[in-house]
Structure 1
Amino acid sequence: MIGVFSHVVSKSRLTRIKLVTIDNSAFRVHYRFTFAILLACTTLVCSRQYIGEHIQCIATGVNNKVVNTFCFFTTTYTLPDANNTAHPGVGPVQWDSKPIQHAYYQWVPFVLFFQAIMFYLPHLLWRTYEAGTIALLVNGLQRLYLKTDDEKDLVVGTTRITSEATRWAKIRNVMNHLDTVTRFRLNRNWAVVLVGCEVLNLVNVLVQLKLMDKFLGGQFYSYGLQLFDDVSSPLDRVFPKMTKCDFHKFGPSGTIQTHDALCVMGLNIINEKIYAVLWFWFIVVLLPVSVAALLWRVIQFAMHSRESFNRLLLREASPGSRIDHVDLAIIARQTTYSDWLFMYYLSGNMDGAVFRDLLHSFATGLRKEPGSQASDDDLLPLDKNSL
């Protein structure tokens, strides 16, 4: 019987230890999804398997390999105002022609990789500062909702089911750590750094939008809208498929000869799709998500001292918890926003029943502090008037 129960417990989702969460979904959109998208784009641009040669040029009187190398490492250009051309932007140079130089394609993989690093940097800063504080406090508490009435712990397979005494001993240990953190204000900068990194996420998005617009010659902001245009010429201005290149060399008598080369930009077929995806991701997804995350922090800061707000939010963060309304009132009145946010992330990393007991112990400690606003009449049993 024990063997069957051991197998069931070991396979149960209830006994699996989940990773500790120290940020929110909006933060993860930056350092997980956006970071992965940019790295994938970098890899795709560097791959010749799907693109072939990045550039192939034809010119008379010059070796094609030489022209290819020269035009790739210098610049090519197009004539957007030219008429009667075989390809958009490719035609004879007139005295009033205004050529557009295209030098960005050499730097695309480097810029994409730099962007990926910049999106991971705020998470790295936050994780370095946080230094596993939440994980240290919740370590060993994620299975405390499984308890036995025996005086000793029960080991079933690889799962240890704690006794009531062990359970409360671990909770008291966390309370001691939490009391030290809050009493000496060790977490006073915790919320400041977290929100600061979230602000840095938004600033990073805005800076990178400006960077990409500058990188593409002022064409990025309207690039996504041009995708819906029936005429292909707007996109050909940004990522032309055919370009011109001038190769100069000395003739037999020392005269400078100019060779007009026509270049096929195979790389731009991929660049066009990559920046279309990035435009929609940055403008439609990333920018609204970043703004919404900061607005949510403003709402939290304004409402964290309200009991009704705490009741709703802690129920969502720690489902299954039946928190005493007096505990909520004391926490709301006597904690700063930094303490409150710290407790909120603790609740998201604990089982509801365990967090309820921890919160009750913490509120009881606040009642006993000198100058506490809670009266002795507030010392009600834990199971009354609960949510």
Structure 2
Amino acid sequence: MLDIFRGLKSFVKISHIHIDSPVFRLHYSITVMILVAFSLIVTTRQYVGNPIDCIHTKDIPEDVLNTFCWIHSTYTIKSAFHKKVGVDVPHKGIDNSRGSQEDRKSYMYYQWVCFCLFFQAILFYTPRWLWKNWEGGKIHALIMDLDVGICSEVEKKQKKKLLLDYLWDNLRYHNWWAYRYYLCELLSLVNVVGQMFLMNRFFDGAFLTFGIDVLTFMESDQEDRWDPMIYIFPRMTKCTFHKYGVSGEIEKLDAVCILPLNVVNEKIYVFLWFWFLLLAFLTTLSLLFRVLIIMSPRIRVYLLRFRFRMVRRDAVDAIVVRSRMGDWFLLYMLGQNVDCLIFRDVMHELADRLKRSPVMLPDA
């Protein structure tokens, strides 16, 4: 098991070549690692050990009853959550079943938690997979080991010329390439918001306000508060088992089951609620920032000046004015990977070429 968790380090391994933003990396790196780790934890608790223990009084093998209740789900009584423990009911959600069927709340999700977490991890990695295929190794090919900056002057000059010639020959042809990356960022936002609703569906409409309910529970008075985690992830449930009696009549066995796995599940989903909310907030800000970049060339100028202070201001102005948004995005990514002195020289030489050439007005 420890070897499996050590393998998760590959998800957070930061490459020395950056082809995306830090917020985008939170989705496919940190979040995927968290979800896979949670899936492994739940799987270990579920299939190694006993995830359910049912209390019964009649002559039925314990393993049979536990397996039956695990497979066919358990239930609680909704009205019993609001009764006083030790006075009206023995445990929250446990009461007699003489009421209507509508007062029962069935729990069928716990067999699927480990699979759902793993499926969520796949969804979070999908935008990264798309961008990696669409990017096609362009950044890695263009930097040509210029991120180190330790090479002979002849080699450095030759590589700078190759990079400059590519930028010059392909100027104004990178818009579609950049828009594909912005689409992947948009898919990341759609994914994290969609997963909130997916979890809400998974837990019968109780997940969207789960974090707020938990905070309210922690701040309320001890006598009046009602634990929302027990309602979604009960520790004690009921299970009904039918069997034939000695005379051929059907006998009904009412059992009380302990679900120790839900102690882990509730902590996992409280964390995921806040983590998904943070991801959605950061990704929304990132997309609004992208809209500003697309709409305003002046913002692009300020960003290049702020990020790469060694490049002359007039060079930045000349490049942004005579290029498109996709060219700006490529240059920004190259600047994050190429040695700062080499990137400065390339920017200056590109600006000089643009100044000597006929004026080209950008389309976007």
TM-score, reference length from structure 1: 0.81
Residue 247 of structure 1 deviates from its aligned partner by 0.7
Query: Quick check: which one's helix share is greater?
Result: 2
1:113 is aligned to: 118
- 2:167 is matched by which residue type in structure 1? L
CA RMSD of aligned residues (A): 2.1
Q: Distance in 2 between matches of 1:91 and 1:170?
A: 77
- 1:168 is matched by which residue type in structure 2? K
The within-5 A match list for 1:238-249 is 238-249=232-243
The within-5 A match list for 1:44-63 is 44-48=41-45, 52-59=49-56, 60-63=58-61
State which of 249, 256, 259 in structure 2 corresponds to 1:255: 249
State yes or no: 1:198 paired with 2:203. Answer: no
Residue 324 of structure 1 deviates from its aligned partner by 2.7
Residue 347 of structure 1 deviates from its aligned partner by 1.1
Q: Distance in 1 between matches of 2:240 and 2:305?
A: 68
Deviates more, 1:90-99 or 1:204-213: 90-99
Identity of aligned residues (%): 37
Q: Is the contact made by 2:308 and 2:335 (CA closer than 8 Å) also made in structure 1? A: yes
State yes or no: 1:130 paired with 2:135. Answer: yes
1:276 is aligned to: 270
The runs of 5 or more residues in structure 2 that have no matched partner are: 1-14
State yes or no: 1:317 paired with 2:307. Answer: yes
Secondary structure at the residue paired with 1:107?
A: helix
- List 4+ stretches of structure 1 deviating above 6 A: none
| 1:95–1:372 Cα change, 3 Å | closer
Tell me how many residue pairs correspond in the alignment. 332
Greater RCO, CA 8 A, separation 6+:
2
Residue 140 of structure 1 deviates from its aligned partner by 2.2
State yes or no: 1:28 paired with 2:25. Answer: yes
State yes or no: 1:93 paired with 2:97. Answer: yes
Deviates more, 1:110-119 or 1:166-175: 166-175
Q: Distance in 2 between matches of 1:325 and 1:315?
A: 7
Q: Distance in 1 between matches of 2:239 and 2:46?
A: 25
State yes or no: 1:342 paired with 2:330. Answer: yes
1:78 is aligned to: 76
TM-score, reference length from structure 2: 0.86
1:352 is aligned to: 340
The runs of 5 or more residues in structure 1 that have no matched partner are: 1-17, 147-160, 374-387
Q: Distance in 2 between matches of 1:80 and 1:266?
A: 20
Q: Is the contact made by 1:318 and 1:350 (CA closer than 8 Å) also made in structure 2? A: no
| 1:111–1:57 Cα change, 3 Å | same
Secondary structure at the residue paired with 2:45?
A: coil
Secondary structure at the residue paired with 1:182?
A: coil
Q: Is the contact made by 1:77 and 1:99 (CA closer than 8 Å) also made in structure 2? A: yes
Residue 139 of structure 1 deviates from its aligned partner by 1.6
| 1:50–1:69 Cα change, 3 Å | closer
1:68 is aligned to: 66
Q: Distance in 2 between matches of 1:173 and 1:92?
A: 79
Q: Distance in 2 between matches of 1:291 and 1:356?
A: 32
The within-5 A match list for 1:140-219 is 140-144=145-149, 146=150, 161-163=151-153, 165-182=154-171, 185=173, 187-219=174-206
Higher CA-based Rg? 1
State which of 265, 272, 275 in structure 1 corresponds to 2:259: 265
Q: Is the contact made by 1:191 and 1:338 (CA closer than 8 Å) also made in structure 2? A: yes
Residue 255 of structure 1 deviates from its aligned partner by 1.7
Secondary structure at the residue paired with 1:57?
A: strand
Q: Distance in 2 between matches of 1:192 and 1:49?
A: 43
Secondary structure at the residue paired with 2:147?
A: coil
Residue 168 of structure 1 deviates from its aligned partner by 2.0
